[in-house]
Amino acid sequence: MRTKIAQLRAEIEALTASNAEELEKLRIRLLSKKGEITSLFNDFRNVANEEKREMGVLLNELKQAAQEKINTLKESFAKRQEDNTVGDLTRSALPLKIGSRHPLSLVKHEIAAIFSRLGFSIAEGPEIEDDWHVFTALNFPLEHPARDMQDTFFVERNPDILLRTHTSSVQVRVMENRKPPIRLIFPGRVYRNEAISYRAHCFFHQVEGLYIDREVSFADLKQALLYFAREMFGSETRIRLRPSYFPFTEPSAEMDISCNICHGKGCAFCKHSGWVEILGCGMVDPNVLKNCGIDPEQYSGYAFGMGVERIANLKYRTKDLRLFSENDIRFLEQFRAAF
């Protein structure tokens, strides 16, 4: 019996199994009711009394060793299977959740891309500004309502420090620091002290544009805006310019495009006029050029400004401005296909 035990011990040490089926066969051969180790236990009663103690220990050790070896092999199979699950590169991809750009970013990038094709670059500036850059340099008379506490957020009750109400303040900074020709667009967030509703918010986004050079005319402005409207809303789009007033441009105009929903026939969206307003524009007032150190005798320029939310409303037919800042994932996910 001693020889048999030693033989089985050696055999168990060297055991291998390449799959679970083979392992089960081994277990049956060694440990089942008719297994080799079990039959040794059965033979135990024939062992001489003086050897019983020693043989008992050896048999128990043998059984334990067999059990441990089988358990170890079983674990290694399970682990190998797990590794294969993680490491299988041929499996189909997990359903990854892909994010989407914010609709206002999409529209802002599209505006920038269109004007970049006309040679415009991008400039940005601070959102906290002083009175000079937001109002005074831009020819706002002291009594102009835009300076009123109703419209402007002032910082720490200091009437000179405020949140910019338009990105024209960046135009002033550029004109003060650069020599013409200047051909830039100015995207950015602006702030107005207004009650929040579906059509107004205390902050919104603008893209303004400025072109200053010798002999820049209103015809240049009109052509640039026609190009923009057709690139943005389709090649059939028509524009019309209505006379308007802004302190910083002379003459000034507001631009409408033919309604891109009814194509000019009249619908609820365009209030049955066939036209929708999209931006304000004009020739830079000579006083503004002078304020910024540019000689209006030598240079002229045009400027325009549009609300990004307004363009997004027209493009995506959203009706409520608040959707853009509520971060409702159900709204934002609709823009996943765009880029």
Enumerate binding residues for Zn ion (CB under 5 A).
Answer: 259, 261-262, 267, 269-270
How many other β-carbons are positioned within 10 Å of the β-carbon of residue 260?
19
CB of 253 to Zn ion, least distance (A): 21
Nearer to Zn ion, 15 or 261 (CB): 261
Give the separation between CA 40 and CA 169, rounded to whole angstroms: 97
Nearer to Zn ion, 270 or 306 (CB): 270
Nearer to Zn ion, 65 or 261 (CB): 261
Nearer to Zn ion, 163 or 229 (CB): 229
Nearer to Zn ion, 247 or 274 (CB): 274
Q: Which H or E run includes 134?
A: helix 131-134
CB of 261 to Zn ion, least distance (A): 5
Dihedral over Cα of 210, 294, 140, 239: its sign:
negative
Nearer to Zn ion, 40 or 259 (CB): 259
How many angstroms from the chain centroid is the CA of residue 106? Answer: 10
CB of 277 to Zn ion, least distance (A): 12
Question: Which residue from 211, 189, 76, 188 is spatially nearest to 124, judged by alpha carbons?
Answer: 188
Report strand pairing: 182-191 vs 121-122: parallel
Task: Report whether 111 contacts 311 (CB < 8 A).
Answer: yes
Give the separation between CA 260 and CA 242, rounded to whole angstroms: 19
Give the separation between CA 233 and CA 236, rounded to whole angstroms: 8
Nearer to Zn ion, 114 or 259 (CB): 259
Question: Which residue from 193, 140, 143, 144 is spatially nearest to 168, judged by alpha carbons?
Answer: 140
CB of 274 to Zn ion, least distance (A): 6
E strand intervals along 174-264 = 182-191, 203-213, 239-246, 249-258
Q: What share of the chain is helix, strand, coil (3-state, %, to 5)?
A: 45, 20, 35
Q: Which H or E run includes 194?
A: none
CB of 317 to Zn ion, least distance (A): 11
Q: What residue number has its CB nearest to Zn ion?
A: 259
Report strand pairing: 239-246 vs 128-130: unpaired
DSSP, res 260: T
Nearer to Zn ion, 111 or 270 (CB): 270
CB of 259 to Zn ion, least distance (A): 3
CB of 258 to Zn ion, least distance (A): 8
CB of 130 to Zn ion, least distance (A): 42
